[in-house]
Chains A and B, each alone.
Chain A
């Protein structure tokens, strides 16, 4: 295993910017170690075959599941060409055009905050944390369109268990890479970089919450958030943070990039809710991508159709206030 524990001082306390902006220099050294480790791993156990490095490569040994059996998957072409990933530009076609500059190996994720011990885990080891499953989830964007995507990954809960958060951990914060060298969109000030998101601990531990490494049986294309992203199917798509480099357990509710951008329009929960409109547009219906020019909009479902599984997380809460 490549998991190395860090000194007790959290990286954030030393220099938080280093973690995301200067990551490349750090990785220059860490990469050598990781590579050496990878070679050893290949000789020792054969498990590394499950962590192909190039996007689009097939992932071996995926467990099929019954999630989303009733859905028709959105064509691969559409899933990988119509994206919101502002680190590569604000146009929907920008990520597919520019994300090739993102380097996804070596890649490590720092884990800190309210944990027994801050840790760092390489992407190769994340592949080995739990069996990879294929789950077909609906994805509803806050802009009013939706897809059905066959993700590859495992419940975030598996990583959280491994991370060993302390009793003080009430929220989980996720932080994306924000490297101007690799991500041209980060030069613009459209959002407060690095992109961050957050979940309440019970939301994060919910079995539906997925840590994804692939889609359509293949390694995540860069534009879809390679090498590691979050998928929370009952929340608006922007909660599904991409290219995660850091996971932080906190006592306080994290303030996400979108909350900072416009607190009136984007709340912490951002659960899909057809009865609570975006201040500027309706959320009652959605346009399913890939259905052509002459298909009607469809009704948006409460919690994006996952109410049965997740509604109990919010009992007693005013979902208009906690939007």
Chain B
């Protein structure tokens, strides 16, 4: 897929609108299947898993924006990033809500015990809590107000994403194929950032030259 390097503001807005609707499809699918009684033998598990999978997927999609922007040289992609991040939060909310409501039926004592006793719940809960400040500060006003600190704050996602993947790893019984796929994608997305950071460090070349062996 070739991405145009630049796009008119109006065109970016159109792309964003289309993406907004597409991102609602996983929820629409759940609603359609739910009303048609097609969620399978364990509908609650289906709903929780679906929302969790999409929350994690949107985290990865959000993290893919910057590498994609750099590789394709398409700066306008940055304009989509906050919306994608908010969708990650949206599906994370549905994920947590379906756990608290459908699975645990607001049994706060059981939920509390679950969080304290079971690392995979604790990891998931931590990832969710860490997403909240990012969602709260996602408005234009907050972006302006926080200035440089905004970027720092939103880099928390580099921590949240691995915790979310860990949450997935710990919950599967034996077949870790799916979590491994997510882990590899995440490693790629974070790895690229690390690579670029190292490559672009000021003074890197001179130091490298000093360290390189004399004989070639």
- Complex Cα gap A86–B170 (Å): 19
Residues of B within 8 A of A284 (CB): 110
Contact A92 B42, CB 8 Å, known A280-B170, A282-B113, A293-B34: yes
Q: Contact at B175–A90, with CB atoms within 8 Å?
A: yes
Residue count of chain A within 8 Å CB distance of chain B: 30
Which residue of chain B is the closest to A296 with respect to CB atoms?
B105
Q: Which of A74-82, A108-116, A174-182, A222-230 contacts the other chain?
A: A74-82
A-B contacts, CB under 8 A, total: 62
Asked if A277 is at the interface of the complex by the 8 Å CB criterion, the answer is yes
Interface of chain B: mostly helix, strand, loop or mixed: helix
Q: Contact at B102–A289, with CB atoms within 8 Å?
A: no
Q: Interface code B92-131, partner A: CB below 8 Å = 1, 0 otherwise?
A: 0000000000111100001001100111100000000000
Residues of B within 8 A of A277 (CB): 117-118
Asked if B215 is at the interface of the complex by the 8 Å CB criterion, the answer is no
Q: Contact at B42–A287, with CB atoms within 8 Å?
A: yes
Q: Which 3 A-B pairs have the closest CB atoms?
A: A82-B41, A90-B175, A78-B41
Interface positions of A from 243 to 260, Cβ below 8 Å from B: none
Q: A280 contacts which of B40, B43, B103, B171 (Cβ < 8 Å)? A: B171
Asked if A190 is at the interface of the complex by the 8 Å CB criterion, the answer is yes
Q: Contact at A81–B118, with CB atoms within 8 Å?
A: no
Asked if A285 is at the interface of the complex by the 8 Å CB criterion, the answer is yes
Asked if A193 is at the interface of the complex by the 8 Å CB criterion, the answer is no
- Complex Cα gap A298–B170 (Å): 24
Residues of B within 8 A of A90 (CB): 174-175, 177
Interface size class of B (residues with CB under 8 A): 20 to 34
Q: Contact at A281–B39, with CB atoms within 8 Å?
A: no
Q: A297 contacts which of B103, B117, B120, B174 (Cβ < 8 Å)? A: B103
Give min CB distance, B101 to chain A, whole Å.
Answer: 9
Asked if A145 is at the interface of the complex by the 8 Å CB criterion, the answer is yes
Give min CB distance, A123 to chain B, whole Å.
Answer: 28
- Complex Cα gap A294–B120 (Å): 24
Q: Contact at B175–A190, with CB atoms within 8 Å?
A: yes
Q: Contact at A282–B117, with CB atoms within 8 Å?
A: yes
Q: Contact at A82–B40, with CB atoms within 8 Å?
A: yes
Interface positions of B from 16 to 54, Cβ below 8 Å from A: 34, 39-45, 47
- Complex Cα gap A81–B38 (Å): 12
Contact A289 B118, CB 8 Å, known A190-B175, A280-B170, A282-B113: no
Asked if B204 is at the interface of the complex by the 8 Å CB criterion, the answer is no
Contact A82 B104, CB 8 Å, known A280-B118, A280-B119, A280-B171: no
